[in-house]
């Protein structure tokens, strides 16, 4: 028999006894232990004392020590010790009599176990170090391992052989510091599996659509290249696909092509080598909700954002010219501010008249707008900037929409646009997907905005950034979720002193921070409530690990997937 541990079924057990505590505890004393992934059983016993007897004994003690203090003259240490216990006794009596506190005896035992003796010694030393840093003194239960083990079993037995060593008194208010149910974990009943909590190995399930728990279903996914954010995003798309949720992805880096094909989604490309087109001038019936009015006015506001990207920061005079010419362009197609002008009769007879919302072929295209601008010399500057979109390298924007979009997964591939032109494709797809999101409030859906900084950063403008902010602010009422993805934190907060980037963060209930560089971390810490310790954790995260802020919970999570999911996403390789 070894006095240092017990061996039961090839598992080694050893118990630590907490024998003393610091006088002041401002935190939960066991939090750092519970949040580890150490194999440990914790047993706590509380014994409430008789209030009448406690006050009587304290009063007797105070009287005796008070007399002794008057007679002490030999040792300064004796005087200090007596004064110390005297003041403690007076404090405890005051709390019991005036603040209705109760006095308890408390006993705490920590039973650690491992299948390896060296590992057991390692975790014993680790736990002792953690407890000492919290102001607690411990003693190993040598020659009392069996009694301590029995006291840690769920049989409500506190062995008398170890009680006298560990007994300490505590008031009712002090019991709060021993509250044990503080392990950070997220387990939403209808959530999808994300991974495991790296501190305690608990499983993480998140249901971002739970309106009772979260203020919205929006997410942020930030991380450096290669940190695992793209893999995580693809994993979310795959798992939400199994739940039948509609998902729309803007893909500037051509990262989602294989996933789209494997999930039988619709891949929509915009570029010089693509034969699919989206007409920026399309007015869709779902762009307004039922009982709302103003199709053309709403569309003109969106087009002003798009042309702001092309023309740069336009002044008020130029803005007025653009709006005037847009109205004229739509009028040429018989579309006015009267919403009835958006409907046409498709089966007219004396008995029945069917009305149908106008289709893409009934809408103007960029060429029509260019022609209208050509008639006004004051618009020459604007017309010239449109030439690449009419006759040049970007003329694929000058077409009617030629694809049906009735799939639950649609990926908008804008990779071929090149670095300088990605923002145009992102805006076109964002507007298209936003209209589809508003179509049916009862259906859950998500829109993924990869490299979102291009739309709300310094290379964008207030009209476009305001449109993106509106999506994040209002998408909840349509049953939707907006997901912001980026590796460029500095660019995200570069427009208008970061007001739009901050709005995206504030309107996201789930935030995922993968590994980030020091510069980006410093910027993020200005806008997000992360501690210095969490800042260090984010910087040291490995690939596939993230600090998740879900509501009020902050959890370091390891993203996990099954082998078949790996094969569907990237063929077994985490990017």
Taking residue 271's Cβ as centre, other Cβ atoms within 10 Å add up to: 16
Cβ atoms 445, 248 nearer than 8 A: yes
DSSP state string for 511-571: EEE----HHHHHHHHHHS---HHHHHHHHTPPTTEEEEEETTEEEEEEE---HHHHHHHHT
Taking the mean position of all CA atoms in its chain, how far away is CA 17?
A: 39
Taking the mean position of all CA atoms in its chain, how far away is CA 146?
A: 46
Rounded (5°) CA angle 171-134-79: 60
For the record, the structure tokens of 453 come out as 């900084």
- Residue 574, burial from CB neighbour count under 10 angstroms (0-12, 13-18, 19+): middle
Give the helix/strand (H/E) hosting 98. helix 76-98
Cβ atoms 112, 16 nearer than 8 A: yes
- Residue 487 DSSP symbol: S
SS3 460: coil
Q: How far apart are CA 188 and CA 192, in angstroms?
A: 8
Cβ atoms 408, 241 nearer than 8 A: yes
- What is the model's pLDDT at position 297? 95
Find, among 169, 22, 21, the residue nearest to 95 by Cα. Answer: 169
For the chain, give every domain's residue range: 6-49+102-178, 279-402
Catalogue the E-assigned strands of 320-373.
Answer: 343-348, 353-357
| Per-position b or e across 146-178, b if 16+ CB within 10 A of its CB | ebbbbbbeeeeebbeebeeebeeebeeebeebb
- What is the model's pLDDT at position 404? 80
- What is the model's pLDDT at position 77? 55
The fold of 279-402 is Helicase, Ruva Protein; domain 3 (1.10.8)
For the record, the structure tokens of 154 come out as 């769920």
Q: Sort residue 201 into left (φ over 0), alpha (ψ -120 to 50) or beta.
A: left
- What is the model's pLDDT at position 119? 93
DSSP state string for 399-412: S--------SEEEE
Find, among 144, 108, 146, 143, the residue nearest to 127 by Cα. Answer: 108
Cβ atoms 15, 110 nearer than 8 A: yes
Compute the half-sphere exposure of residue 371: CA atoms within 13 Å on the CB side of its CA. Answer: 10
Cβ atoms 247, 437 nearer than 8 A: no
- What is the model's pLDDT at position 421? 92
Q: How far apart are CA 353 and CA 336, in angstroms?
A: 22
Compute the half-sphere exposure of residue 533: CA atoms within 13 Å on the CB side of its CA. Answer: 3
Cβ atoms 100, 51 nearer than 8 A: no
**Running along the chain, 575 residues long, what does each successive block of 10 average in pLDDT?**
88 94 69 78 93 89 76 60 78 88 93 94 93 89 93 92 90 81 76 90 92 94 94 96 95 93 93 92 89 91 93 88 96 96 76 81 96 93 94 94 90 92 94 92 94 89 91 94 94 91 94 94 89 87 95 90 90 45
DSSP state string for 191-213: PEEEEEETTT--EEEE-TT-TTT
Give the helix/strand (H/E) hosting 20. strand 11-20
- What is the model's pLDDT at position 186? 87
Taking residue 260's Cβ as centre, other Cβ atoms within 10 Å add up to: 22
CA distances from 92 to 61, 65, 101, 136, 174 (A): 12, 15, 9, 21, 12
- What is the model's pLDDT at position 62? 84
Q: How far apart are CA 57 and CA 461, in angstroms?
A: 75
Q: How far apart are CA 192 and CA 551, in angstroms?
A: 16
Strands 192-197 and 203-206: antiparallel
For the record, the structure tokens of 227 come out as 């940190």
């Amino acid at each position: 028999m070894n006095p240092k541990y017990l061996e039961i079924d090839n598992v080694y057990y050893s118990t630590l006894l907490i024998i003393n505590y610091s006088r002041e505890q401002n935190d939960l004393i066991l939090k750092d232990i519970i949040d580890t992934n150490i194999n440990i059983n914790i047993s706590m016993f509380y014994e409430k004392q008789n209030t009448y007897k406690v006050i009587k004994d304290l009063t007797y003690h105070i009287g005796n020590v008070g007399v002794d203090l008057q007679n002490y003259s030999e040792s300064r240490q004796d005087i200090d010790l007596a004064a110390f216990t005297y003041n403690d006794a007076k404090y405890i009596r005051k709390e019991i009599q005036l603040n209705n506190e109760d006095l308890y005896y408390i006993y705490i035992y920590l039973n650690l176990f491992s299948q390896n003796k060296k590992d057991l010694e390692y975790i014993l030393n680790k736990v002792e170090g953690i407890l000492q840093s919290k102001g607690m003194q411990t003693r190993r239960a040598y020659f009392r391992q069996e009694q301590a083990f029995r006291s840690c079993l769920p049989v409500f037995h506190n062995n008398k052989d170890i009680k006298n060593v560990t007994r300490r008194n505590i008031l009712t208010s002090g019991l709060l510091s021993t509250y044990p149910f503080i392990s950070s974990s997220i387990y939403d009943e209808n959530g999808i599996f994300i991974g495991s909590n790296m501190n305690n190995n608990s499983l993480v399930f998140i249901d971002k659509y739970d309106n009772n728990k979260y203020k919205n279903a929006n997410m942020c996914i930030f991380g450096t290249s290669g940190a695992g954010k793209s893999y995580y995003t693809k994993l979310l798309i795959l798992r939400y696909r199994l739940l039948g949720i509609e998902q729309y992805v803007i893909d500037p880096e051509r990262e989602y092509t294989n996933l789209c094909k494997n999930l039988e989604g619709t891949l929509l490309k915009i570029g010089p080598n693509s034969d699919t087109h989206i007409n920026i001038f399309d007015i869709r019936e779902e762009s307004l909700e039922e009982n709302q009015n103003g199709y053309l006015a709403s569309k003109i506001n969106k087009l002003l954002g798009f042309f702001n990207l092309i023309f740069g920061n336009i002044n008020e005079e130029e803005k007025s010219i653009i709006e005037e010419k847009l109205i004229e362009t739509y009028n040429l197609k018989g579309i006015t501010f009267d919403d009835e002008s958006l409907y046409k009769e498709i089966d007219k007879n004396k008995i029945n008249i069917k009305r149908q919302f106008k289709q893409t072929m009934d809408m103007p295209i960029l060429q029509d707008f260019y022609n209208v601008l050509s008639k006004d010399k004051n618009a020459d500057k604007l017309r010239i900037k449109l030439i690449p979109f009419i006759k040049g390298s970007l003329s694929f924007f000058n077409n009617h929409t030629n694809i049906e979009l009735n799939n639950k997964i649609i990926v908008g591939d804008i990779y071929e646009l090149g670095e300088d032109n990605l923002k145009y494709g992102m805006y076109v797809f964002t507007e298209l997907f936003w209209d589809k999101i508003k179509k049916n409030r009862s259906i859950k859906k998500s829109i993924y905005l990869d490299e979102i900084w291009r739309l709300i950063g310094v290379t964008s403008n207030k009209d476009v950034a305001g449109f993106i902010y509106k999506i994040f602010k209002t998408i909840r009422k349509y049953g939707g979720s907006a997901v912001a993805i980026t590796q460029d934190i500095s660019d995200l907060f570069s427009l208008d002193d970061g007001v739009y980037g901050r709005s995206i963060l504030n309107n996201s209930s789930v935030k995922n921070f993968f590994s980030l560089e020091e510069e980006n971390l410093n910027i993020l810490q200005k806008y997000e409530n992360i501690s210095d310790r969490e800042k260090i954790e984010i910087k040291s995260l490995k690939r596939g690990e993230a600090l998740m802020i879900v509501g009020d919970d902050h959890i370091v999570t390891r993203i996990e997937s099954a082998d078949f999911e790996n094969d569907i996403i990237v063929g077994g390789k985490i990017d």
